[in-house]
Structure 1
Amino acid sequence: MIDWVSFTPVSALVGGVMIGLAAVLLMAMNGRIAGISGILGGLLQPRRGEVAWRAAFIAGLLAAPVLWLLVAGPPHILVEASNAVLVLAGLLVGFGTRLGSGCTSGHGVCGLSRLSPRSLAATAVFMATGFVTVFVVRHLLGDA
């Protein structure tokens, strides 16, 4: 269920613009796609000349919520899943990222903007899987 009282379209729009700008700048300046799984994977298997920009990108991802916390304070977050479910979900996302040769940022943001057929297929599968998962959890399992 969407919490319409807490819905903030302006911050969502600004966030989307910032993600798009970061993707464009990374492509324009480094010739690289802003797929987070690929960027992180490149740090785990470092190659000469590839570590600094990857580390800076990941550091920015980690610093952004800290800066937001300092500016806006802590958000109200309600997680209605057990730790076991969250761990399982994380493992499934990681498996899907490897299986799909990329993540939602690489395929959904960068791949679609480049009109990549492979990214279109991957994004369609991500979205369909999400729709089915929500339907099963909410309607078949009883929204526990």
Structure 2
Amino acid sequence: MMYELAGGTLIGLAAALLWLGIGRISGMTGVLSSVFQSWQPQRRWALWFLAGLLLAYPLFRLLGGEAPVVITDHKGLLAAAGLLVGFGTYIGNGCTSGHGVCGMGRLSVRSTVATVTFMVAGVVTVAMMNQLGVQV
């Protein structure tokens, strides 16, 4: 419970600092697209943001934190999930972090609808997988 509270606080703080500091939303779709355009000086912030994300977990572990991560070894399931997430991000004009953390924090109706849609789709997917007996 303590890790979740600290993690949520850090995510909110990072999103607020990025928004207040340079006026950017910390959704991962926007961060990654900016990384690929980091030759532009106004996009270099994304490299630092991504570096912070990549270093956070090893630093957490180095400080004694434990967070077991369980991911399936099923390559087809991973490929399908990646394609579905990418397609959903494209048609939803953003990802869960952009809509759920930043958009809802700004009281955006569009982001609220998108986040509710993500959550419902996740619940339905898990229910279907459980019904089909798919083990991940």
Partner of 2:118: 126
User: Shift of the alpha carbon at 1:99?
Assistant: 1.2
Give the unaligned 5+ runs of structure 1.
1-8
TM-score normalized by the length of structure 2? 0.89
Q: Number of residues paired by the alignment?
A: 135
In the alignment, does 2:101 pair up with 1:109?
Answer: yes
SS at match of 1:45: coil
Question: Are the equivalent residues in 2 in contact too, given 1:36–1:105 (CA < 8 A)?
Answer: yes
Pick one of 25, 34, 39 that aligns with 1:33.
25
Partner of 2:133: 142
Question: Are the equivalent residues in 2 in contact too, given 1:36–1:106 (CA < 8 A)?
Answer: yes
Partner of 1:71: 63
Question: What fraction of aligned residue pairs are identical, expressed as a percent?
Answer: 47
SS at match of 2:122: helix
- What RMSD, in angstroms, separates the aligned Cα atoms of the two structures? 1.7
Give the unaligned 5+ runs of structure 2.
none
What is the CA–CA distance in structure 1 between the aligned matches of 2:61 and 2:121, rounded to whole Å? Answer: 32
Q: What are the residue-to-residue correspondences of 1:33-72 with 2, within 5 Å?
A: 33-46=25-38, 48-72=40-64
SS at match of 1:72: coil
Q: What are the residue-to-residue correspondences of 1:8-27 with 2, within 5 Å?
A: 9-27=1-19
TM-score normalized by the length of structure 1? 0.85
Deviation digits for residues 10-61 of structure 1 (CA, Å, limit 9, x no counterpart):
1001000000000111111111111111111122234633232111001101
Moved more, 99-108 or 87-96: 87-96
Letter in 2 for 1:100: G
